[in-house]
Structure 1
Amino acid sequence: MRHVYWIGGGSGAGKSTIARRLAERHGWYVYSADDVMADHARRTDAGQAPFLHAFMAMDMDQRWVERSPETMLETFHWFSGEALGLILQDLALVPRRTPVVVEGFRLLPHLVRPLLTGPGEAVWLLPTPEFRQVAFSSRAAPEGRFTRKTRDPERAEHNIAVRDALFTERLREETGRLGLPALTVDGTMTEEELAERVAEVFRL
């Protein structure tokens, strides 16, 4: 894994944007962990990923409306590291001669740390709740959001926002405890400035 760089963090932090910028600048291959979630779900069974398959069995209201944000956090499959091994299987197929930048919220610090061969290989982007709200409101019109498929879209949006804020704080605590680099994303930096900060962490 010496040729792999990791960009984890909370949803809406700009991980994909920063990964693309660095890849274009340095000729890297981009692996988006978010883009392969559906494929990874198909490649698991209930024994390998119990939280994932319990989630798949729920309807939209059970997933997003009827459970508390705290329960959603503790039982969300990707937040528990389920199927991370499939990411590693995918990366093993990428030629080692090409550096790879892996990005996605599924990259949990305690699971990535054993894969690092030295400093400057991983960073986590931690969005403030305010930044995340702005980022997501600009991505899709309200009528296009999946929460519209629930009986209470406003409640679903609230639950997801609280859950993701709790997840980001968990990442902040974990990166601090493990001594891993983390950057707060609050809108005070431009995308280019944030890319430069990540490049500094990667010692580029």
Structure 2
Amino acid sequence: MNVLWIGGPPGSGKTTVARRLARLHGLRRYDSDARTWAHRDLAVKAGHPAALRFEELTPAQRAAAPMEERLAMWLQAERGPMTVADLRALPSSPLTVAEGTQVLPGMLPPGSRAVWLVPPAEVRLARLRARHGPGWAAELYLRLGELIEAEVERAGVAVITREDALPEVERFFAAELAAGPLARGPEERARLLREANEAVVEQYRAFFARPWSPDASETTARPFVCECADPRCDVQVSLVIERLPPEPVLAPGHRPWNRPERAGVSGQSR
């Protein structure tokens, strides 16, 4: 597998770093969150007790469950092999950058190139609170982070602790990025960006298909990556998930890959 692995606790910046790395270098991005419900469906089909229990409970009942039960329902160990299977099924070109809390030393194929992002706990907590809003309960995510940190420390693997991790991640993967294969041109880059956005749509369709889920697919907006031609762009565009247009998703003033830029004029973020 041509995969660059990024692991770490919730709130460590894995998704942001993977998104920016993929955009800058022309990589395919494996979004762990986008596979959550597909993995849960596999676990339910296999009769996994914690997966079945998760689907039986309401969100409020899950939040009130004992910590050990909540950790089991996270399916951390079960999702590792599922992630490897997903990645084996992807094309070998271009390189894929894969991230997720389930990326742990013990689940990786031999010879894998992997790094773990572990910024201070207070940094992670601030990011999670900003993401989930006031009143959000942090206990599960903090406990999961402690377990991931302990496993990473026992394995003695590569760890990055700084908040702005992208430069160090680029240096860590420098040889792999130089060797490639990378996207072969702007058209392939555009396809990879669309692929990432379509994965978000599928993620939320699978969530709203749950019997306990709110029927909000026609009104729920989520951020999608701008599909413009600038590899440095990190703008996200909020769209209702059921209204992903067939044409490129573009932030205001940004141009698609196949529209030439006029001399001396640029609408791209720098």
TM-score normalized with structure 1 length: 0.75
Amino acid paired to 1:200 = R
Alignment CA distance shift 1:126-1:71 (3 Å):
farther
Unaligned runs of 5+ in 1: 143-153
Whether 1:30 aligns to 2:1 is: no
Q: After the TM superposition, which residues 135-174 of structure 1 pair with which residues of structure 2 at under 5 Å, given as runs?
A: 135-142=127-134, 154=135, 157-158=136-137, 161-174=138-151
Separation in 2 of the partners of 1:76 and 1:128? 26
Question: Number of residue pairs matched?
Answer: 175
For 1:99, give the aligned amino acid.
Answer: L
- 1:49 and 1:108 map into 2 onto residues whose CA distance is 21
Aligned counterpart, 2:85: 89
Percentage identity across paired residues of the two chains: 30
2:154 to 168, 177, 186: 177
Residue of structure 1 in register with 2:235 after alignment: none
CA distance in 2, matches of 1:171, 1:137: 19
Runs of 4+ with >6 A deviation: none
2:221 matched to which residue of 1?
none
Whether the 8 Å CA contact 1:49–1:83 is kept in 2: the answer is no
Question: Does 1:72 pair with 2:70?
Answer: yes
Per the TM alignment, residue 175 of structure 1 is displaced from its structure 2 partner at its CA by 1.5
Aligned residues of 1:7 and 1:102 also touching (Cα < 8 A): yes
Q: Does structure 1 conserve the Cα–Cα contact (< 8 Å) formed by 2:30 and 2:98?
A: yes
Question: 1-side partners of 2:44 and 2:25: how far apart?
Answer: 38
Instruction: Select the structure with the greater relative contact order (CA < 8 A; seq sep ≥ 6).
Output: 1
| 1:109 and 1:171 in contact (8 A); partners too | no
Letter in 2 for 1:30: R
1:46, distance to aligned residue in structure 2 (A) = 5.5
Matched, 1:123 2:137: no
Q: Which has the higher helix share?
A: 1
